[in-house]
């Protein structure tokens, strides 16, 4: 039987990224994301917030630690993972997202306030590498330059 495990979320960080390195030297960062939705209850629209824990690995974790702060708007693409453990004789579990791609939304240091005036709004620009690893690109503009910069 086939299966598919893909999650795409956009929201605001609930806390600053927490960067650490594991024994092999690989960077790991944990972030919390608040994702808002509007639902209708009793003929009234109500904002409903879902809080999601996300784990970033490698260079993506380092980029998040360098550029993101509490309130920053970010788009995450990844997969669901169920962690299980035992504490004080009780079995526990937690569903989280392991990020495979991260896209910053809004301006540098925007804290979720937008900015920049263009799609992606990133104040910094980094040219994509020969084979682009999207997890390390810090703005939409780096992958999609304005039309006046296209060399044809």
Q: Alpha-carbon distance 38 to 117, whole Å? A: 26
Tens of pLDDT, residues 62-80:
999 999 999 999 999 999 9
Superfamily for the 7-149 domain: Nucleic acid-binding proteins (2.40.50.140)
pLDDT at position 40 is 86
Domain range summary for the chain, segments of one domain joined by +: 7-149
pLDDT at position 106 is 78
CA angle centred on 123, ends 6 and 99, rounded to 5°: 15
Mean pLDDT in the chain? 78
pLDDT at position 49 is 94
| CA distance readout (Å), 91 to 64, 81, 84 | 32, 16, 7
Q: Alpha-carbon distance 94 to 88, whole Å? A: 16
3-state secondary structure of 141: helix
pLDDT at position 107 is 62
């Amino acid at each position: 039987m086939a299966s598919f495990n893909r999650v795409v979320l956009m929201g605001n960080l609930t806390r600053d990224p927490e960067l650490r390195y594991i024994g092999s030297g690989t960077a790991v960062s944990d972030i919390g994301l608040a994702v808002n939705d509007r639902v209708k209850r009793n003929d009234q629209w109500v904002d409903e917030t879902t809080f999601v824990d996300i784990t970033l690995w490698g260079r993506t974790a380092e980029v998040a630690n360098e550029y993101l702060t509490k309130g920053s708007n970010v788009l995450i693409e990844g997969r669901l993972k169920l962690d299980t453990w035992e504490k004080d004789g009780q079995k526990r579990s937690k569903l989280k997202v392991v990020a495979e791609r991260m896209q910053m939304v809004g301006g540098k240091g925007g804290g979720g306030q937008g900015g920049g005036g263009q799609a992606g709004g990133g104040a910094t620009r980094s040219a994509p590498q020969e084979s682009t690893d999207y997890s390390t690109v810090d703005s939409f503009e780096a992958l999609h330059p304005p039309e006046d910069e296209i060399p044809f």
